[in-house]
Amino acid sequence: MAESAFPFFRATFYRWLQLWPEICSDLAKAPSVLAVGDLHIENFGTWRDEEGSAKSALELEPRT
């Protein structure tokens, strides 16, 4: 964990889950929502089109 911030925050995430209701008590009282963690574009796949532009599955339009 001492090598960089990323491993530190990944390793301490569950401790943060234990502490955040006390530290952020006003937010802990907010309504619950469905959320997806670790969401980034690589999870959906990216590619380059014929012109070399980056594309992702999130940009696809529904076919009619």
Q: Dump pLDDT digits (tens) for 15-53.
A: 888 998 899 999 888 898 877 666 665 666 677 888 888
How far, in Å, CA of 40 to CA of 56, rounded?
11
pLDDT value, residue 22: 92
Provide the whole-model pTM: 0.41
pLDDT value, residue 32: 85
pLDDT value, residue 36: 62
For residue 57, give the DSSP letter: G
pLDDT value, residue 9: 80
Best CA proximity match to 28, nearest among 38, 12, 17: 17
Handedness of CA 7, 8, 10, 14 (dihedral sign): positive
